[in-house]
């Protein structure tokens, strides 16, 4: 997975509009059967990043992808770190970024 510089503002006024509020990503190896792809119905699914100790961190929540689930197309994820204060306020589950 890699951030794509072709990431552009959303097509809907109900989505975050600042580039810093979302992540656009696509697979580095689209031919792999396990490559990143988003499909209709995947909204709300997580995008994880693993560190050198293989510990996962939720960094994004699926917003949308391209029709047909192509692995070589950009998928858009809402950036979780931008909403940590709201998550804490509404759920009582609070995290800090170190």
pLDDT at 92: 94
- 18-60 pLDDT tens trace: 667 788 877 777 677 666 677 778 888 888 888 899 999 899 9
Whether 17 has a pLDDT exceeding 80, the answer reads no
pLDDT at 91: 95
Residue with more model confidence, 93 or 37: 93
For the domain with range 2-91, which CATH number is right: 2.40.10.10, 3.20.20.210, 3.40.50.720, 3.40.50.2300? 2.40.10.10
* Strands ordered across the beta sheet of 2-3: 2-3, 22-26, 75-79, 56-64, 46-50
Domain ranges of the chain: 2-91
**Please, what is the average pLDDT of the chain?**
77
């Amino acid at each position: 997975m890699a951030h794509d510089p072709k990431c552009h503002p959303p097509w809907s006024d109900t989505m975050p509009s600042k580039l810093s509020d979302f992540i656009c990503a696509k697979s580095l190896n689209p031919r792999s059967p396990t490559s990143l792809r988003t499909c209709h119905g995947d909204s709300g699914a997580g995008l994880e990043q693993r560190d050198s100790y293989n510990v996962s961190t939720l960094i994004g929540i699926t917003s949308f992808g391209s029709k047909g689930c192509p692995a070589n197309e950009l998928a858009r994820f809402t950036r979780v770190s931008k909403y940590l204060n709201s998550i804490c306020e509404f759920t009582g589950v609070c995290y800090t970024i170190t």
